[in-house]
Structure 1
Amino acid sequence: MSKNKVRKLSNSPFRYPGGKFYARKLILPCIPKHDKYCEPFVGGGSIFFAKPNTKVNILNDKDSELINTYIQIRDNVEDLINLLDGIPASKELHKYYKLDYSPSNDLERAMRWFYLNRTSYSGIMKQANCYWGYGDKYSMRPENWPKHLRTTSGRLKLVKFLSLDFQEVIEYLEEDFFLFIDPPYFGADQDKFYSCSFNLEDHYRLSEVLEKNSSKFKFLITYDNVPEIREMYNWCTSIQDNEWNYTINRTDDQKNKKKLSDGYKSNRYKGKEIFITNYDINNVSGVEPFVFIKQLSLF
């Protein structure tokens, strides 16, 4: 018997529409070394989980249900695991937790949110578009949820969570933070995917507050590649084109050949975005990915 070490990137506990899971290897080399880190739109947190923690970590999202779930994973992970214990992934239970279940405390709110997130199509939590989307072949099985929750709980121990408007967060920060900023797309109807709306005024407001505070910290923004955004951020140092392959797993609805309306994509498509920075993106050493090492026994 021999033992080999397997290196595995750290992953978010959630499925999240528009997340940067598939862009991690493109984004990490563009992030300069830093001691203080903030995400004003954390969502699924793929970039936070992909890189090492720093001395100060602030994660914000206006979606209070999402932030509550993060906090319960951080502070009460074993209680959360106990609530989920023995609950199978089923279409009937998905409907029950979506429409009928009434949580009585923050822990039960987190259990409901996590269950729906792991069993919904692409992790979409907007109730009107929160459809059953689990398959044993394509989704993380419930028996694997506890291990993953414990792992991510450990990563969250030193994180400060906020659920505020992005402008409050950016103006709240002291100097020398690095901000990874992943707002909703400019050219898409994000109200179909997210519980909190983000309108045209918000896009302009984000640009204005970043320009006003750009001397305080460094930031990297990921946005859809459209002329309006290029014009909005023409004051920045660098705007770089990037693209990568997204993969969206099949669901029961796809297998049954039902149409996926409301802007859903097919199994594979190209993500074409721009990275916007207030520093020279070509003159940074980048951060190394955070990697778990586990032992595998081979006979």
Structure 2
Amino acid sequence: MNKPINSPFRYPGGKFYARNLIIKHIPAHSYYAEPFVGGGSIFFAKEKVTNNWLNDIDELLINTYFIIRDQPEELINFLDGEVATKERHKFYKHEFKPQDKLEAASRWFYLNRTSYSGIMKPQNCYWGYGEKYSMRPENWPRNIRRTSEKLQNVQITKLDFEEVITSVPDGAFLFIDPPYFNADQDKFYVHSFSKDDHLRLCRILYEHQHRIKFLITYDNSNEIRELYNWAVEVHDKEWNYTINRTDDQKNGKRRQDNFKGERYKGKEIFILNYFSLESPDLESKQLILNI
């Protein structure tokens, strides 16, 4: 399956709502890699190329990718008959103890599909399923099967991002979606990303900028703009998205934790080390390229 599909997961900070904006900037390529795959919205939304590498440091996430790719029917059978209820969410979160990788993936998948915004950090992994806007359990098998099909022959790893960037071949294209620079990421992510990690990412990309192409998405901050002042293009982007609320959130039960649902406007910058077809000044840049 090479056609676009939706990500199998809900993921905080995922690029589902920005995917069309991002894909417009992606150049032709035959080798694709994501050092921070997360929910993988861009990989699943674009056409699959000859070589694909998905990576993330989150062990449970990566295990779930492996199980979906290699054992989709076993995962479907384990989840067969499941219902989306607070009681089952509580059971998987607090009581269920996986005995193997299949059970670990089943637990992760259930919690991800029924938790608010797909937040998997235990302290903030709250019930967040709604019949009107969440994928129902009876539709999970179709979701798993089509995801498994697209993941066939895809390299999946759990490595530090630096190893991925330094290992891809010359000419590879990388979509890079690290945690935000100024975000309160401790609420949302199992693995935090330090300021030193942000600096290390910038340094590694600078060192490899002449042999690979990359598009990196970041929160719009002066610090990031200064770090990447050597990039070829920086685009300010906005898009609308809505986070729906469960009854508990509507009643303000967890409003103090900043998980209230509202209509938002995503604001980020896209940083590229190449001239894109979406550049507002493409004609003059093309003249430069031709000289």
With normalisation by structure 1, the TM-score equals 0.90
Query: Aligned pair in 2 of structure 1 residues 212, 261: CA closer, same or farther (>3 Å)?
Result: farther
**Which of 162, 167, 174 is equivalent to 1:167?**
162
1:190-209 equivalent positions in 2, closer than 5 A: 190-209=185-204
Paired positions, count: 277
Equivalent residue number for residue 281 of structure 1: 276
Structure 1: gaps (5+ residues) = 1-7, 285-299
1:255 & 1:265 partners in 2: Cα distance?
Answer: 7
1:90 & 1:255 partners in 2: Cα distance?
Answer: 17
1:133 & 1:26 partners in 2: Cα distance?
Answer: 27
2:70 & 2:165 partners in 1: Cα distance?
Answer: 25
Report the residue type matching 1:90 in the other structure. T
Equivalent residue number for residue 207 of structure 2: 212
Give SS of 2:84's match: coil
List per-residue Cα deviations over 1:261-289 (Å, max 9, x = no partner): 444353211110000000012468xxxxx
Give SS of 2:255's match: coil
1:1-299 equivalent positions in 2, closer than 5 A: 9-264=4-259, 266-282=261-277
List per-residue Cα deviations over 1:50-71 (Å, max 9, x = no partner): 0111111000000010000011
Report the residue type matching 2:68 in the other structure. I
- The answer as to whether partners of 1:134 and 1:252 remain within 8 angstroms in 2 is no
- The answer as to whether partners of 1:138 and 1:250 remain within 8 angstroms in 2 is no
- The answer as to whether partners of 2:29 and 2:49 remain within 8 angstroms in 1 is yes
- The answer as to whether partners of 1:91 and 1:132 remain within 8 angstroms in 2 is yes
With normalisation by structure 2, the TM-score equals 0.92
1:9 Cα deviation after fit: 4.7
Query: Aligned pair in 2 of structure 1 residues 162, 264: CA closer, same or farther (>3 Å)?
Result: same
2:42 & 2:246 partners in 1: Cα distance?
Answer: 26
1:257 Cα deviation after fit: 2.8
Q: Comparing both chains, which one has the higher relative contact order based on Cα–Cα distances under 8 Å and sequence gaps of 6 or more?
A: 1
List per-residue Cα deviations over 1:206-265 (Å, max 9, x = no partner): 000000111121000010000000000001101110000121122132233323344435
Aligned-residue Cα RMSD (Å) equals 1.3
Give SS of 2:17's match: helix
Report the residue type matching 2:39 in the other structure. G
List per-residue Cα deviations over 1:82-106 (Å, max 9, x = no partner): 0000111111111111111110111
Give SS of 1:74's match: helix
2:4 & 2:277 partners in 1: Cα distance?
Answer: 24
Identity of aligned residues (%): 63
